[in-house]
């Protein structure tokens, strides 16, 4: 039989919990039980991997000390790791004995927390030990306390050895309906490393800057692709151009997604259309590519886009209205 002890205290010399689990260990070893103890404070960087050790156990002891409030952070980390990475099928067959000694108030609540957490995980809690011990010498000097500890160890041995059945708990029913553990595809080591990266502000800021730089690079590449593609606004404007004798004007169409303006120069029957700059255009227009797409598809006119507020214009309004006469887009 294998019994694992997970100690969540700080390892202080006068910790009463250490005295209790050492006594339980002596009794179990006399019964020819192989006992392995994991001190969580010594393995704090490897706590996410400790649930893997449950696979070797027939029963476990969860031991912690209430020093000021609650069972301590190391034990909570271990239970969290059991929830995220533990083998739930194995846990469902594991008996757990809670041991919580207190140097202040709250030992009963701590014992109840451990039992409840193990039930929610799907495991089988058995009778444990809790008590208020202000001085470890009290445990050593009173034989009746030693007798209680020995009896609890023997009871754990019998429970695990005989696989004593127990009534189902409502905590397990709740777990099966609402407390569904997340499916974590990462290993404990990968999750721990990712958590360290997420907590590193400089790393997160560097990643944001890299993402912005990549987004800008790809946006520029798409703009260049649009500018050189045969199916561009330049070609479309040339296809539908309707010359207006005696009319000359220049337009600068600023597309929000492009760095350079689409320049349209008209002089009677001559049309120049290109991406670049023009000095003092009669009309300067600002619009999104989606609006220009609607116009070039014949679903909207320049004037209706301006009147609806979808397009902004500076310059001569009469010259702007001529766009609908110069370029007649059919739907």
Task: Please tell me the predicted confidence (pLDDT) of residue 178.
Answer: 57
For the segment 264-300, what is each residue's pLDDT rounded down to a tens digit?
999 988 999 988 888 889 999 999 888 988 888 888 8
Same domain, 168 and 28: yes
Residues of the chain with confidence (pLDDT) below 70:
171-201, 203-204, 219-231, 331
Q: What is the pLDDT of residue 227?
A: 45
Residue 77 lies in a domain: yes
Q: Residue 19 falls within a domain, yes or no?
A: yes
Residue 206 lies in a domain: yes
> The whole model's pTM is what?
0.55
CATH number of the domain within which 289 lies: 3.30.1050.10
Query: Are 245 and 224 in the same domain?
Result: no
Residue 191, domain member (yes or no)? no
320 lies in some domain: yes
- Residues 176 and 222 occupy one common structural domain: no
Residues 17 and 120 in one domain: yes
In a domain, 10, yes or no: yes
Name, in order, each residue with C-beta under 8 angstroms of 43's C-beta and a sequence gap of 6 or more: 50
pLDDT for position 136: 85
pLDDT for the residue numbered 230:
40
Q: Do 92 and 138 belong to one domain?
A: yes
Cα–Cα distance measured from residue 43 to residue 35, given in angstroms and rounded to the nearest whole number: 17
Same domain, 121 and 139: yes
Token pair listed for 225: 């692709």
Which pLDDT score, from 0 to 100, does residue 193 have? 58
Residue 190 in domain: no
Task: Tell me whether residue 67 is exposed, middle or buried, using C-beta atoms within 10 angstroms of its C-beta: 0 to 12, 13 to 18, 19 or more.
Answer: middle
The pLDDT of residue 79 is 93
CATH of residue 86's domain is 3.40.50.360
Answer yes or no: do 28 and 167 share one domain.
yes
Cα–Cα distance for residue pair 154/31, rounded to 1 Å: 9
In this prediction, residue 228 carries a pLDDT of 40
CA nearest neighbour of 276 among 265, 266, 262, 287: 262
Q: Which domain holds residue 216?
A: 200-228
Domain count of the fold of the chain: 3
Sequence-ordered alpha helix ranges (H) in 229-298: 233-239, 289-296
What is residue 5's predicted lDDT score, i.e. its pLDDT? 94
My answer on whether 293 and 243 are in the same domain is yes
Residue 193 inside a domain? The answer is no
* Nearest in space to 122 (alpha carbons), one of 87, 165, 97: 87
pLDDT at position 197 is: 57
Tell me, yes or no, whether 162 and 240 share the same domain. Answer: no
Residue 303 has a pLDDT of: 87
Residues 63 and 41 in one domain: yes
- Whether residue 173 sits in one domain with residue 46: yes
223 and 243 share a domain? no
Q: What is the pLDDT of residue 17?
A: 94
- Supply the pLDDT for residue 279: 85
């Amino acid at each position: 039989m294998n019994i694992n002890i997970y100690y969540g205290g700080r390892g202080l010399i006068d910790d009463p919990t250490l005295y209790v689990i050492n006594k339980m260990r002596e009794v179990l070893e006399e019964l020819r039980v192989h006992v392995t103890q994991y001190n969580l404070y010594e393995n704090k960087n490897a706590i996410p991997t400790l649930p893997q050790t449950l696979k070797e156990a027939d029963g476990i002891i969860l031991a912690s000390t209430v020093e000021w409030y609650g069972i301590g952070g190391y034990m909570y980390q271990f239970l969290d790791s059991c929830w995220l990475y533990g083998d739930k099928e194995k846990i469902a067959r594991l008996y757990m004995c809670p041991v919580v000694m207190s140097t202040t108030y709250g030992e009963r609540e701590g014992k109840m927390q451990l039992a409840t957490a193990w039930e929610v995980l799907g495991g089988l809690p058995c009778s444990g030990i809790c008590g208020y011990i202000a001085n470890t010498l009290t445990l050593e000097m009173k034989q009746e306390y030693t007798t209680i500890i020995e009896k609890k160890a023997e009871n754990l041995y019998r429970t695990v050895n005989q696989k004593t059945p127990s009534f189902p708990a409502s905590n397990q029913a709740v777990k099966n309906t609402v407390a569904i553990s997340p499916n974590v595809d990462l290993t404990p080591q990968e999750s721990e490393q990712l958590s360290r990266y997420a907590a590193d502000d400089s790393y997160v800021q560097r990643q944001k800057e890299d993402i912005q730089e990549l987004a800008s690079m790809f946006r520029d590449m798409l703009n260049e692709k649009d500018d050189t593609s045969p199916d561009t606004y330049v070609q479309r404007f040339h296809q539908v151009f309707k010359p207006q004798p005696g009319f000359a004007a220049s337009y600068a169409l600023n597309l929000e997604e492009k760095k350079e303006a689409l320049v349209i120069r008209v002089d009677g029957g001559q049309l120049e259309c290109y991406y670049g700059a023009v000095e003092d255009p009669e009309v300067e227009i600002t619009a999104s590519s989606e609006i220009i797409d609607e116009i070039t598809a014949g679903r909207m006119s320049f004037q209706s886009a301006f009147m609806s507020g979808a397009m902004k214009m500076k310059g001569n309004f009469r010259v702007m209205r001529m766009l609908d006469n110069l370029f007649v887009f059919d739907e």
